[in-house]
Amino acid sequence: MATIFEKIINRQLPANIVYEDNEIIAIKDINPKAPVHLLIITKKVIPSIQEIKEEDFYLLGKMAKVAQKLAKEFKVDKGYRLLTNVGTPSGQTIFHLHFHLLGGRDLLSMG
């Protein structure tokens, strides 16, 4: 079954897209935990960072580059959190590789 993110990539579901290239898409999180809460997503369906195969590790570099660019654009480049969940115990709910970019408020209170 297609993940929610695949449906967004294929334009079967709406989303607030803030970046897109041939391999990465970034959207605003529908349930933001901070004033800036973006999701940086691989177009290729990889369940999590734990399942990345050798040939796809370069995508992590691309995602980091997109994070830098978006942090500047959203004016949080002086302080933000970039995180990815792995598996249900971590709180992962969508099994399609993505990084959360969180910023715009004091993140220390988030734990």
Task: Give the residue among 58, 102, 98 at the shortest CA–CA distance from 80.
Answer: 102
Site string for ligand AMP, 35-74 (x = CB under 6 A): ----x-----------------------------------
Of 86, 106, 90, 83, which Cα lies nearest the Cα of 29? 83
3-state secondary structure of 68: helix
Contact pick of 15, 36, 40, 102 for ligand AMP (by CB under 6 A): 15
Dihedral (C-alpha) 103, 60, 25, 31: value to the nearest 10 degrees? Answer: -40
Smaller CB distance to ligand AMP: residue 50 or 54?
50
- Answer for which of 6, 20, 68, 85 binds ligand AMP (CB under 6 A) is 85
Summarize as ranges the residues that interact with ligand AMP (CB under 6 A): 4, 13, 15, 27, 29-31, 39, 85, 91-94
List, by residue number, the catalytic residues.
98
